[in-house]
Amino acid sequence: MKNIILRIKNHINDRIKFPLIRLLFFQKYIIKDTPTTLQFINETRCSVSRYGDGEFDMIIGGCRGFQSYNKKLAIRLKDILQSDLPNHIVCLPYTLKCTANQRGYAHYFWKDYFQTHYKDLQSILKPRKVYYDSLITRFYMDLEDKSICPQIISQLKNIWRNRNILLVEGALTSSGIGNDLYNNAKSLRRIICPPENAFEKYDKILKTVKDNAQKNDLILISLGMTATVLAYDLAKESYQAIDLGHLDVEYE
């Protein structure tokens, strides 16, 4: 009997309580969708720092994937969440706001993540700040309706069309190798970084990028949580730097 009552309560929470909480939450916090985000990047040539569950977990005291917990990294990630550089945007998963087009595991993961962590998010996000979509680089595998994918790919490739790319990536990433992802770029150079715990070498990575980058380069970064911070610090130096995450995997 107790199990039945518990299931009924959970069902009520799922169908009534949390949709209402989400509605009220996103009256206070703003996240733009993927097409709007990509249009803004193309129009303004801004830098981009992206957040996902791993970055959030790092801030609230956990660790994830290829980066062990690092207190300095956690502090930097929290500070950047509330930053306001004119040439830089901060991106959050649009799936916190809406999971309607997410399939299978992704749908339930993000639904549960919001329900579990919305109080934590409320404590670290800046009210009324305009956030953009971090899932600009996760545009295929988790989508139920994939008809928007060609538009997203076109918008992405337009970012580096005829640009000189400086690609900063982990040693095992090999972004764009074996496919035509960057074929419309003017040129492409690479800086190879540690495949794990890259933030431990952050000062060296930042210096190496600045020593090798030209001001008109487009700096693309695939380096886990370190990319989130690196894109921000390069934006402060007037470079355009974009955290691309696992874009190459989605494109393949």
Is the predicted pLDDT of residue 1 greater than 60, yes or no? Answer: no
Give the span between the Cα atoms of 246 and 137, in whole angstroms. 7
Buried b (16+ CB within 10 A) or exposed e, 144-183: eeeeeeeebbebbbebbeebbbbbbbbeebebbeeeebbe
Lowest mean pLDDT among 22-36, 180-194, 234-248: 22-36
Lowest mean pLDDT among 14-23, 145-154, 193-202: 14-23
| Mean of the per-residue pLDDT values of the chain | 92
Q: Between 23 and 194, where is the model more confident?
A: 194
User: What is the pLDDT at residue 38?
Assistant: 98
Tell me the percentage of the chain whose pLDDT exceeds 90: 84
Q: Identify the top-confidence range among 4-18, 19-33, 51-65, 226-240.
A: 226-240
Residue 36 DSSP SS3: helix
User: What is the pLDDT at residue 64?
Assistant: 61
β-strand partners of 90: 49
Average pLDDT over residues 157-181: 97
Q: Between 63 and 25, where is the model more confident?
A: 25
Per-residue pLDDT band at 10 (split at 50, 70, 90): low
Report pLDDT digits (tens) over 56-107: 999 988 766 678 899 999 999 999 999 999 999 999 999 999 999 999 899 9
User: What is the pLDDT at residue 8?
Assistant: 46
Query: pTM for the whole thing?
Result: 0.91
Average pLDDT over residues 115-144: 95
Average pLDDT over residues 143-150: 95
> Residue 148 is encoded by which pair of tokens?
């928007």
User: What is the pLDDT at residue 67?
Assistant: 85
Packing angle between helix 104-124 and helix 18-28, nearest 10 degrees? Answer: 50
